[in-house]
Amino acid sequence: MNTIEAMRERHSIRKFDTDHVMPEEDLQEILDATIEAPSSWNLQHWKFLVIQSDEKKEELLPIAYNQKQVVDGDVTIAVLGDEQANQNADTVFGESVELGHMTEEIKDKVVATIHGAYENEKFGHDEALINASLAAMQLMLAAKEKGYDSVPMGGFDASKLRENFNIPERYTPVMLVAIGKGTGEARTSPRFPLEDVVIKDSF
Ligand SMILES: Cc1cc2nc3c(=O)[nH]c(=O)nc-3n(C[C@H](O)[C@H](O)[C@H](O)COP(=O)(O)O)c2cc1C
């Protein structure tokens, strides 16, 4: 399946084969492709809380307002955004120095700029949402290419998720993505015509 096929064929599936178990290597491969997502300053503002055991999926069910796909899928992944991704800057740009892509002096300037930007809390929050959402999309496309279906979900109680799954304050729950072997058809989900959504040059 090429990228455009995966994009066209991915639609939200809410009915999954409950007997199917995802092999660990498929999960690893999907996640490994997911983390190739781009991110601002390459700060990689994401954590993936993999909810896979029957017990934990059942715990998630009421938190996701009883949307059954969270238990019927092979796995539900809570995509979390890092609101303090500036804390990753030293590591990320330290690697750039080691690779010879920049000098230590430039690195210090970039890292200082990043910390400056993150003094604004709203900036950190927005960046977490933007960048983790890109990873969530990548996750669904990687799953599709590996022969799985998925559904993204914003319908869940973020504070209960945080509490039950011990999510540190630093990470904001962005989306749940249930992944599994689809059994039902996707609901029809037409799109606005291209000419309604594409603006050339200027409004
Ligand atoms: C941020 C976000 C939140 C969503 N939340 C839910 C949800 O809580 N439950 C659900 O069944 N579908 C949810 N969806 C799926 C959308 O309904 C679906 O993507 C949309 O109708 C387009 O259909 P398609 O994904 O089949 O192409 C969500 C999608 C997105 C992107």
Residue 197 lies inside a defined structural domain of this protein: no
Residue 52 lies inside a defined structural domain of this protein: yes
Give 11 Cα–ligand 1 centroid separation in angstroms.
Answer: 9
Mean pLDDT by 10-residue block, N- to C-terminus, for the chain (203 residues)?
Answer: 94 97 98 98 98 98 98 98 98 97 97 98 97 98 98 98 98 98 92 98 97
| Ligand 1 atom nearest to 175, measured from its CA | 1
184: left (phi over 0), alpha (psi -120 to 50) or beta: beta
CATH number, domain of 58, equals: 3.40.109.10
Domain extent for 27: 3-182
If one counts the domains in the chain, the total is 1
Residue 200 lies inside a defined structural domain of this protein: no
Residue 196 lies inside a defined structural domain of this protein: no
Give 111 Cα–ligand 1 centroid separation in angstroms.
Answer: 36
Residue 117 lies inside a defined structural domain of this protein: yes
189 CB near ligand 1 (under 6 Å): yes
Are 1 and 146 in contact by the 8 Å Cβ rule? The answer is no
For residue 26, what pLDDT is reported? Answer: 98
For residue 76, what pLDDT is reported? Answer: 98
Per-residue DSSP letters for 69-93?
HHHHSSEEEEEEEETTGGGGHHHHH
Tally of CB atoms within 10 A around 98: 8
Residue 194 lies inside a defined structural domain of this protein: no
Query: In this structure, what are the phi and psi dihedrals at residue 46, rounded to the nearest 5 degrees?
Result: -145, 150
What pTM was estimated for this model as a whole? 0.97
Residue 143 lies inside a defined structural domain of this protein: yes
Give 77 Cα–ligand 1 centroid separation in angstroms.
Answer: 15
For residue 65, what pLDDT is reported? Answer: 98
Residue 82 lies inside a defined structural domain of this protein: yes
Tally of CB atoms within 10 A around 110: 15
